[in-house]
Homo-oligomer: A and B are copies of this chain.
Amino acid sequence: MNNLTSRSTAAGQGCRAAAADRLRHFGVSVTRPRVAIMEYLMEHHVHPTVEQVYSALSPEYPSLSRTTVYNTMKMLAEHGAVTLLTIDDRNLNIDENTTPHAHLYCTRCHRIHDLPLQGVSPLQASYAFTLDGHLIQQVHQYYKGVCRECQTDLNKEPLLTNKQ
């Protein structure tokens, strides 16, 4: 009841307990870098790149390695805890929201927005099925275009990349 004694559990900015729970839920052992990464993903549902995750965590966790972020992402994807998006040909984006949904990739700001799936229900898409003899394990849908925000700014600013 008295949580003043355990500062680490209650006073942290983001909830690392929830991150640890999620890791356990997907059957991966809980370690410091994994919790940090998962915590970041749970607080920023914005399809970050590996670089963004790395450089966001780096200040508070200087020994974190880029390789660990890559390895962790691949591992989490294999356990179904994240989805790796290869929409932007420059680098991969991580989606912590594993409910099947579609995306809009804005060719102006390079951000990725969520949209509902078309033609398949999210429930249907979350299980494997057969199509034309092929075993389907994941459904990916995305659009390329210009996002709402960028359309209004089109004439104004020149063009802002969300990286760097």
Contacts and interface: CB of A to CB of B under 8 A. Distances in A.
What does DSSP make chain A's interface, helix, strand, loop or mixed?
strand
Give this chain's copy count. 2
B148 A137 contact: no
B119 A148 contact: no
Interface of A: 84, 86-89, 92, 104, 106-107, 113, 115, 117-120, 128, 131-148, 151
Given A84-B89, A118-B118, A118-B119, A135 B140 contact: no
B136 A143 contact: yes
A138 B106 CA distance: 11
A88 B89 CA distance: 10
B134 A147 contact: yes
